Each structure stands twice: as C-alpha cells, then as structure tokens.
Structure 1
Amino acid sequence: MTLVLFGLVSCPTTVSAQLVQLLNQPLVNKPSQSTQLPKFPASGGGAPTGRRKGGTSRDGCTPLNTPITALVPGEEIGDESKSFLTFTISEYPTFWFFVPELPKNAVLGEFKLQDENGKNIYTTSLSLPRKASIFGIKLPHNSQSALKIKKNYQWYFKVFCGNLQEQSEYFYVNAWIQRVPLNSNLEIQLKSTPQEYTTYARNQIWQDALTNLATLHRSNPNSRIFTEDWTLLLKDVGLAELATAPIVELESEEKTVTQSN
C-alpha cells in the first residue's frame, strides 16, 4: 500500500502555526505515521462494476490516443478496463473525469445518472474542453437528483462524435456509486482533521476523498502537499499518469434535464 494520508489527523485544528507547517510538507512523509490506509477499491462482495476507460475504435469515432477515463477505482484487463462501486456521504456528489485532447468532431459530452432499476434520475449535456483536462460534474441540489442512503446508482459519461444530430456514435465510461450514512464516528473524525480527504480515504469513501482533494489542488496549484497527495491518491487506483492533467471547471449546457419518473 503506497498511499498514506494521515499526517494531519493527530494535529489539533486550533494550532494554526502547526497546520501551516504541515501544509508545507507532504502528508506521506510525516514521521509519526503508523497507520496505513486500506487499499482502494473497497467494494468487493459482488458489487456492481462498469467501464472506467473508453476510447478504442467505434463506428464513426476516431480512436483516441489516450482514453477518456472515469476517476474511480478499477483494474485493467488486457485492452479493457472495469470500474468498481464507489462510496459517498453526499446527497449531491461530484463525479470526476479525464478527457484527452479530442478530435474536432468530438465536442459534446453527456452525463446521465440512473437508479439501480435503470430509471433516469439526472441528465445533462456539456461542451468539452479542447485540451486534455480533468473536471467534475456535480449533481444539482434538488429532491429529484438527491442520492438516497444505501441505494446503488449507475452513471454514464459519453463523448459524442461523428453525426451530432444522431448522437448514436460515442465513447463512454460508466460506474456505480452508493451513498452511505454519516455516522457519529466519521463525523468526529472529520471535525478533528484539518484536511477532510484524509478521513474520507481512511474510511474508503472514495468519491468524497477525490472531490475534497481535487478542489484543494485546483484552488492551490502551487501547494506541494496537495500536488503530491493528488498524485498518490490517483496512483493508488492505477491512474498516476493522469495526475499532471490540469483540473478545470466545466459549465453544463443550458439544456439540463432532471427526470423524476
């Protein structure tokens, strides 16, 4: 296990001088560390799987040199890859993707969330960045798209190419997510930890560890600690090669559809 993120757990949040000092060194090199994180993924038990990389040859689509990638735990199986169920405590989590430099005819993306019975919960279209980038798609704050505790949800991210009128030709990735309850033990840990992603990672709550660290890294691009921990977090799920891609904000198109039935 290479990723260890607990250097800040024992540091009192009220001691600002100590926190500033800690933020200038990588968490993984804290000499007081003795606990190792459980290795992602943590789904197991026959949990649902999906496809975390897409970009091989498809009708009407030029093969990509680097595949679009869902930033989720998974494994590579020859030329194929699969993704695993991830966990969140958020009603409205953020889903993260890497998109490489795309051909000119691939300009439109679509994100879709479904419940475990295949009913559409939320769909949105978005214009994609022209350069290789990492970005997140956050669920809107409304009752229709809120995740329910202990329910599995499947999501898809598609990159359309070829004839945009038909939208029948695309690359895609998909995975599953489950919302878990915020219990008292986790709440205490979060309140006592200056950087929340360390607690999320220790408790195998991948989606929130990724979102918290991605937000910090994007807001503090020159921080050595966030840069190194971002690399280690992605490395732990076999995606270290994506760590240097810029994290950008992406705006959804006006045509956003939320479906409740």
Structure 2
Amino acid sequence: MKLTCIMTLVLFGLVSYPIRVLAQVDQLFNQSLANTSSQSKRPKFPDNGAPTGRRKGGTSRDGCTPLNTPITALVPGEEIADESKSFLTFTISEYPTFWVFVPELPKNAVLGEFLLQDENDKNIYKTSLSLPQRASIVGIKLPHNSQSGLKINQKYQWYFKVFCGNSQQIPDYFYVKAWIQRVPLNSDLESQLKRTQSRKYTTYALNQIWQDALTNLATLRRSDPNSNLFTEDWTLLLKDVGLAEFATAPIVELESDEKAITQSN
C-alpha cells in the first residue's frame, strides 16, 4: 500500500476532528498517484482563529543574525506574516514527538529549547537541547512521565526556540509556535491501525491525525533510508502541506534528557 495516492485527499481539512472514516479505505490505499494527480489540489486550511501560532520562525528581538532559511514547524497551515492562523494538529499519543526543520545556524546559535504549555500558559514540560551541526529535521519526544503526558481532548501550545548568544542573559532567539490536541483512540481507528500495522502512517493520514502520521513515517524512513516507498511518501506528505523544500533534509531525534542526538543520512 502506498501513501502517495491518498495524501492530497486525506490531508484536506486536517484541522477538524473527529473525521468520518472514508468508504473503501483499502481501494484508496491501492490507487496509483498517476490516477489522481490530475485532480489533486493543494489542501486549504481554514483560519480557526484562536489558538494561533507561527509556522515559520520569527525572532524575539533584533539581536539574531537573519537566517537564509527560517526555522519551520512541520505542521499544516497557510504562510502569513503574523500569528493569526491556527496551527493545530492531532495525536492519539500521550507522549508525542514534535517536528521542526532547523536550518544551518550561526556559530553562536547552538542551544535550543522546547516548551510545552497548556491553554492557560502553564508550563507542562521545558527542556534545553543541543542542536545538530547541519540543517536537519529534528524531532523532540516528550519524556514518559505523568507530568508531561497529554490529556485527551485538551489543547496544548508548544514552542521551539533557538537562542542567539548567551541564554542566561536577556535572550534573543528564533522561535516557532504551534498547537496540538490528543484525541481518543476509537474502535474504528484501532481496527484500521491493525490492518496497516507495518505502515500506520497511511491510517493516521486518512484519519487526519497529522502528528502521528509524520512521526511514524519519519521513524520508518530513518530505519530504512534507502526505501523508495518511504522516500516517496515522505516527500508527498510534506508537499501536500507546503513543506516539500525540506523533504531531503536528514532526520534527527533529539533526546533532551541525556542531550544525545541520533541521526540518519
């Protein structure tokens, strides 16, 4: 089964949940991209108002050297100049992984920070991160503890920051901001996941659970970087939300507790 035939269909309307399961799921999985490409349209994501976010990185102050390519949260949404769009994704995971593209950085920008807050701006999890030395897609996974786990049907805001200079002083930093909501695993979704056990990202995508589709496919691509299937599906997944320019970047997972980095080429 290939993801490439369904991504443009299933990513449309990613910002609404729950989603009625589409009919004849297996037939959609087995269609070829060539059969649907003439009808393909870039998905349009509505402006949901609050909560708002910033997909492409801005700066907190003027002390950061401008980047050739901005830090970018890997979430669906329209590109605009200010924080007036809702970059909200869904997950069924209590401890999801958050994904960001980090470009080549100035020499003084070596420290990152991840912050997760609830809707009332209360800190749920905060950690410093050592950053990769080359442009990469990085994943930050929440640690498995009761304090940082996401509660079902609650929205959380998350920030990824890259500091310029000394973060202990009044800091300058680049940042992105997005939102996530954990949704329940219902019986229909559970049944579909069992049928696509080896490539669950197809099921997550069909049900518009962006965060888990991205994480599952990133994990598979890192484990088998020579797979044409995973490469093609990864490229289309990012393309359908306007992020195709990052499809060839290496994928890195940042382990915040031990400051360890594992990387795929």
TM-score by length of 2: 0.80
**C-alpha contact (below 8 Å) 1:110/1:157 kept by paired residues:** yes
Please give the per-residue CA displacement for 1:207-236, whole angstroms capped at 9, x wherever unaligned. Answer: 000000000011111000100100000011
Please give the per-residue CA displacement for 1:31-67, whole angstroms capped at 9, x wherever unaligned. Answer: 898xx99976767654522001115694211000000
Distance 1:38 1:144, change over 3 A: farther
Give the alignment partner of residue 243 of structure 1, picking from 239, 244, 247.
247
Please give the per-residue CA displacement for 1:6-44, whole angstroms capped at 9, x wherever unaligned. Answer: 9xx639xxxxxxxxxx9xxxx7727898xx999767676
CA distance in 2, matches of 1:252, 1:28: 40
**C-alpha contact (below 8 Å) 1:57/1:63 kept by paired residues:** no
CA distance in 1, matches of 2:44, 2:84: 14
Give the alignment partner of residue 4 of structure 1, picking from 3, 6, 19.
6
CA distance in 2, matches of 1:225, 1:126: 31
Give the alignment partner of residue 67 of structure 2, picking from 60, 64, 85.
64
CA RMSD across the alignment: 3.0
Distance 1:97 1:69, change over 3 A: same
How many Å apart are 1:70 and its aligned residue?
0.6
**Where do residues 37-48 of structure 1 align in structure 2 (5 Å cutoff)?**
45-46=48-49, 48=51
Gaps of 5+ in 2: 10-24, 260-265
Give the alignment partner of residue 152 of structure 1, picking from 133, 151, 155.
155
One-letter identity of the residue aligned with 1:4:
I
2:17 match? none
CA distance in 2, matches of 1:98, 1:209: 17
Distance 1:166 1:60, change over 3 A: same
1:169 match? 172
How many Å apart are 1:166 and its aligned residue?
1.1
Distance 1:90 1:237, change over 3 A: same
**C-alpha contact (below 8 Å) 2:138/2:252 kept by paired residues:** yes
Distance 1:28 1:167, change over 3 A: farther
Count of residue correspondences: 237
Q: Secondary structure at the match of 1:250?
A: strand
**C-alpha contact (below 8 Å) 1:161/1:167 kept by paired residues:** no
2:114 match? 111
CA distance in 1, matches of 2:86, 2:68: 20
The sequence identity of aligned pairs, in percent, is: 77
Give the alignment partner of residue 214 of structure 2, picking from 192, 195, 210.
210
Q: Secondary structure at the match of 1:111?
A: strand
CA distance in 1, matches of 2:40, 2:96: 22
2:99 match? 96
Q: Secondary structure at the match of 1:123?
A: strand
Give the alignment partner of residue 198 of structure 1, picking from 171, 180, 202.
202
Please give the per-residue CA displacement for 1:149-187, whole angstroms capped at 9, x wherever unaligned. Answer: 100000111000033331511000010100000000000
Q: Secondary structure at the match of 2:69?
A: coil
Please give the per-residue CA displacement for 1:123-156, whole angstroms capped at 9, x wherever unaligned. Answer: 0101111100011100011111110010000011
Q: Secondary structure at the match of 2:138?
A: strand
CA distance in 1, matches of 2:192, 2:159: 32
TM-score by length of 1: 0.81
Gaps of 5+ in 1: 12-21, 256-261
CA distance in 2, matches of 1:180, 1:79: 28
**C-alpha contact (below 8 Å) 2:49/2:85 kept by paired residues:** no
One-letter identity of the residue aligned with 1:125:
S
One-letter identity of the residue aligned with 1:104:
K
2:235 match? 231
